[in-house]
Each structure stands twice: as C-alpha cells, then as structure tokens.
Amino acid sequence: MRVHFEPGVCRGTVTVPPSKSMAHRTLICAALAEGESVIENLAFSQDIEATIRGLTAFGAAVERVGDSTVRVKGMGWPKAPAEPIDCGESGSTLRFLIPLAALAGKPVRFVGHGRLMERPQNVYAEIFAQKGVKFSHTAEEIFVDGMLPAGEYTVDGSVSSQFITGLLLALSLLKEPSTLTVKPPFESASYVALTCAAMTDCGVHLQQNGNTFSIKGNEKYTSKNLKVEGDWSQAAFFAVPGSIAGGISVRGLRADSLQGDRVVLEILRRCGARFQEENGVYSFEKSALTAAEIDLADCPDLGPVLMAMALFCEGETHFINAGRLRIKESDRIAAMESEIRKMGGVIRSTQDEVFVTGGPLHSANLDSHNDHRIAMAMAAASMASGVPVVIDDAQAVRKSYANFWDDAASLGAQVKCDETT
C-alpha cells in the first residue's frame, strides 16, 4: 500500500493503542491459567493475532468479545499442535512460545514470514542443547522436541530480553524450582519487569536478587479479568512531532508504567521539549530542541522515531547501544539512513552507534522497508516538518498500530491510501 501523506498543521488529541508488549504477556499468562479470563483494551494488530494463533494451537480458547475484548479459556499446560504454529512476523510471539513448545512433550514446529526466520535464536539453541532438548533452526522453520527440565539457567543479557521472558513463563510451570541468571549487561531489563508484572497479576511470583530470578516451580497461573495499558512506544510517534511543531496531545497512558519506552518523556525533556500532564493527557508544546547523547540499550523500539526527532535538534545527536536495531523487522539503522537521506537529512552510523545532524528536510518518496516503526517514524518527521511525503509499503503499520493513519488524519493530516500499489 502506498500512502500519500500531507501533514498540513496537525492539531488535536490521540488516544494511544494498548501496549503490544503487555498484551502479548497478558494473553500468554491467561492462556496458561486454568479457568476463564477476560482481557480488555486489546488492539488486534498482526503481532497480537499471531500470539492468539499460537496460544490457540497450544490448546487455549480465545474468543473475541466486541472490538477490543477477548475471553480466554486457559489450557493450563501447553499441548503439542498437529500443524506448525504460524508466528507471522512477530519476534515476540516466536521467542515467548518456543520454551512452551519444550513443555508439550511432542515435536512442535514454528513458521513465519518476512525476516522472522532470519532473526537469531542462538540463545535457545545453546540452552536446549545443554538441557537435552532437540532444537533446529532453518530458513523455513524452527523445530523443538523434548522436555525442558527444571534447574539452573544462564542467559546473556546483551541479547534480546525476549529469551528471558520465554524461559520465565515456561520454567514457572515445572514441578521443581529453577534459577535464571542474566549475565551483564542486562539490557532491556524493563521488558522483563513487564513479564514479572504480568505473571504476578496472574498469581505467579518470582524472586529477583540482582540479575538472578528464582522460580519456585509448580506454580499455578490463575484466571483473572485484566485490562491492557496504553503503549508508550506508540505514543512517541505523536509526542515527537508535538514537541517540534506543537499542538498535539496524547492520552491513554499510565504515568507509573513499567514500560521502558516511557523514557521518551525524559529524552524529550533533555532535548528541550516542553509538555504538561493533566488528568492523564500529555500535551506537547512547540519547542526548540538541542542534540544529546541517547542510550537505546533499554528502549530499542524508540530508535527510529528518536532519529526522526534528531533531525530537528540543533547539533549532532549521538545514539549509543543501537546495534540490536539491525536485527529487527528490518535493519532499522540502515533503513533510517536510507529514508532520512532521501529527505535531505544528515545521518551516519557504525555497527552500534548512529549520528544524526539537525537540518532542513524536503519532500521525498519513501519506503517503509516493510517495517512498521520505519513507516511511522518517517510520518512523524513529516508531521514535524510540515513536508509531504509518499511512503510505500505503508501497510506495515498494521503489525502493531493498525489505526495509525486514521489517527494521523484525525489531527488534520491528509492521508490518501492507494491499496493497489
């Protein structure tokens, strides 16, 4: 799909979608319970649909009730499906469910689309080999066969925290206790905090001592009625242009959220942004921004939109610990370099760092690289500058924020979608 995006002067308030990170975790915990849970404030993005497919394949029953609510009849213990589990392009779905497959007692296969099967799974390959679980990973599928035992586990904390989440969810079901130690640096620790919070909501309690998690074992997930909080990473796509051009507010966010992407407020403030919060609504004022050093170790999903922000900062913004952006839905560093340069922006990178210099932008034909966060980041740059753009493969936003173009239009942008392109 090609989108012709003319931002005009964007003004108004956007209600952010539910947190995709919390939605994945809440759905899985509800599915691991025995009994029926109701989960409210879900957005049925492609990634969430993938997790629902996987949980259904393992034996849970997930019924949609209205536009944003599901009723989940838990499976208690995962059962091996007859067919491969299609994870779409969702890395979270795949990495969260792989350890559950190692509890099913029979072979389980996973397939995916886009770059999903290219994304590294070495952490599981090494751990499963140590624990006697068969694991193979090809360009077509991932194969798991065996029973994950209780015991001592060690995970490299510099790789994706999704592996830690997957293991915590599964180890809690085993009869015997386990420990999971994260070797420093423990990056994206905030995502593991979300996992622990979701597990606690459903009656499973972990003990954390530094970088070691103690899992009692023989835990029982309990069914519960839950509501998913708003997504700080998606709010950033409107907070950034709001801080540059003014006139944009966002609502639906928890001020006390454990989401690591809440740090976007601190980053914007350090760069000179002015905003205020009243009754849960964050209103952003037109501000003169200055460059800063930004550490993406605990907020990699903010990388693309903050690179867009840096185009409007005086000076050169330096991003560190950015390397994991290269193994997302796209190589997000290379993708942002390509698209920013098309608009006349100045950007350079190393393997793990990015440097963006503020300056004028012009109209361009852009490409999302089939990556939702690239499409939305470039739309944010367009809204901030007032410069119209054309974005190809703009349907990529459906992966996480299906209503993004509608929300942008609600602020006054003219959005013309060409589904035939």
Q: Active-site residue numbers?
A: 301
- Cβ neighbors of 301 (< 8 A, separation 6 or more) are 233, 261, 373
Which tokens in the block code for residue 286?
Answer: 């037109």
**C-alpha closest to that of 275 among 316, 236, 233, 228:** 236
Residue located via tokens 């922006």: 345
Radius of gyration of the chain, Cα coordinates, nearest whole angstrom:
21
Q: DSSP string of 255-283?
A: TT---GGGGHHHHHHHTT-EEEEETTEEE
Scored b (16 or more CB within 10 A) or e, 383-408 reads bbbebbbbbbbbbbbbbbbbbbbebb
Backbone angles phi, psi at 190, to 5 degrees: -65, -30
Instruction: Give the whole-angstrom CA distance, residue 398 versus residue 394.
Output: 9
- How are strands ordered across the β-sheet holding 178-183? 152-156, 178-183, 212-215, 207-209
Q: Are 345 and 389 in contact (CB under 8 A)?
A: no
**Range list of β-strands (E), 96-241:** 108-111, 134-137, 142-145, 152-156, 178-183, 207-209, 212-215, 225-227
Instruction: Give the whole-angstrom CA distance, residue 328 versus residue 32.
Output: 28
Q: Are 268 and 55 in contact (CB under 8 A)?
A: no
Q: Are 102 and 78 in contact (CB under 8 A)?
A: no
